[in-house]
A and B are shown apart, each in its own frame.
Chain A
């Protein structure tokens, strides 16, 4: 939908610069078409198209080396685009890098906090990079330390913080400029479950406040929890796109039955399961039946005289989609 003020502004670009007008005219915060990144002869991102809308939590899902981080670095106006077009806030990263970065919050894959400075000074100097005045920064830092549950550690050295605390500080730091868009590159990799849930809680809060999030992850539960819409990337290309529910509907079944067999019994029984579900996948230790009705499938299995050691009916997850699309082979 086009706001009338924006339409008017195109004819009367009074105080707003031309860039602001352009940004207001598109509802997309990020728009990429044929976006490509090459390092020498290696193509990291291979002609991808996607749009991220305001207020959305958008995910890039994919195995290591799929091109997620390279895409993020291009959106972050740090890494130059090799080919294709990319607009962030309606601006061109090649030309308006500093102006784009002024409105971004970036949480990198690896913490890059300043070990030489205490917690609160990490936030202060970062705020100064955005040219925010000190008197504005002081209350903002108090607020962010509270948000990240680090108020008691404000004068601690960064080195002394746990992995989860460092991650929270990195997220707090990314919020210092009150960004319109936050880029999170594998935000919870390497954290324990408690730390992950605390972090997810913080990200929900941001989302509720209307902040647009772009998240890369290879954790399916994270993508299901956080993302409204996501794309699955593999070998630099986008192989699927949609909401978690849509992706499951399109690329998997509603339910999955996991059958486990005592040693050796698997080989002899798997042939008997032919046609019992939409898809039957044989793994070294178990057989997966992809079906819309798990209980009916289990009954059918028993009818054929097959009695596995254990039977588990579960809902299909993004992980099933992910493995279907990107394969079970280990990627190094």
Chain B
């Protein structure tokens, strides 16, 4: 029985990960612990004492923060995995070129990469959700419900960032991406506070960012509250972006690697 080509390629990325999994496993667990302790519990105590509780919907700040941070972590993991490693395989160690001397096609490399990115994001969101329950920020049922929206959020960034990285000529484009897109999104897309707190002119900008939609979906799944828009609208927006990102990535890979 033939294994699909994309899955055969995915094995390469999985093996590369397994060589360094210990280090990454520690950060996967430690990051949510540190963030939830410092911001959720530490800062959250102050928020809960002041007017903050009313703004975030009469719940403890840590409970409000945790699902937002989960979606943002999915974004971060997917973005990191689809930026420098993709550039290395494309331009530095040229393993894509090596793989294309075999029956594999550019399409297989892109889909295999997305498949592994999905697994990586899922490993992270599962650990994160466990930490959420440890902090009392989510019930076990909520920890399960947040998985799909968080993984969907990660996949949006895996596809878009892969497409963006694939057409870069050098590494500077990646530092700009982190500086001007990823970090501002992390801070201002409803992860830490409702975007209603932003100045009026900035709110439409938040509506465009995929992370805001991811955060809304994940938070509403965790807390069982209504999201800003219909959940189906948030989902449709994220799925559409995945489609665009995947299409662009496949096109760029094909153009660039089979000149």
Binding site for B on A (CB under 8 A): 39, 76, 78-80, 97-99, 101-102, 104, 106, 108, 110, 112-117, 121, 125-126, 128-131, 173-174, 177
Contacts and interface: CB of A to CB of B under 8 A. Distances in A.
Given A129-B9, A131-B8, A102 B103 contact: yes
B93 A112 contact: yes
Interface stretch (B11-19, B31-39, B71-79): B11-19
Interface in B131-189: none
A43 to B, nearest CB: 14
Nearest to B102: A129
Contacts of A97: 105
18 contacts: A78-B101, A79-B258, A101-B103, A108-B98, A110-B94, A112-B94, A112-B95, A114-B16, A114-B98, A117-B16, A117-B19, A121-B15, A125-B15, A126-B98, A128-B11, A129-B99, A129-B103, A130-B103
Contacts of B95: 112-114
Given A114-B93, A129-B102, 15 more contacts: A79-B259, A80-B258, A113-B95, A114-B98, A116-B15, A116-B19, A117-B12, A121-B15, A128-B3, A128-B12, A129-B5, A129-B8, A130-B103, A174-B101, A177-B102
Interface of B: 2-3, 5, 8-9, 11-12, 15-16, 19, 93-95, 97-105, 257-259
Given A110-B94, A115-B93, A78 B100 contact: yes
Contact of A76 (B19, B99, B101): B101
Contact of B259 (A39, A76, A115): A39
A174 B3 CA distance: 21
A129 B104 contact: yes
B8 A101 contact: no
Given A78-B258, A108-B97, A108-B98, A128 B16 contact: no
Which of A97, A114, A126, A129: most chain B CB closer than 10 A? Answer: A129
Contacts of B12: 114, 117, 125, 128
Identify the 5 closest CB pairs spanning chains A and B, nearest first.
A129-B102, A106-B101, A112-B94, A98-B103, A116-B16
Query: Which of B11, B19, B100, B257 has the most CB atoms of chain A within a 10 A radius of its CB?
Result: B100
Contact of A98 (B8, B16, B105): B105
A112 B97 contact: yes
B98 A113 contact: yes
A117 B13 CA distance: 10
Contacts of A76: 101
Contacts of B93: 112-116
Contact of B102 (A79, A80, A116, A130): A130
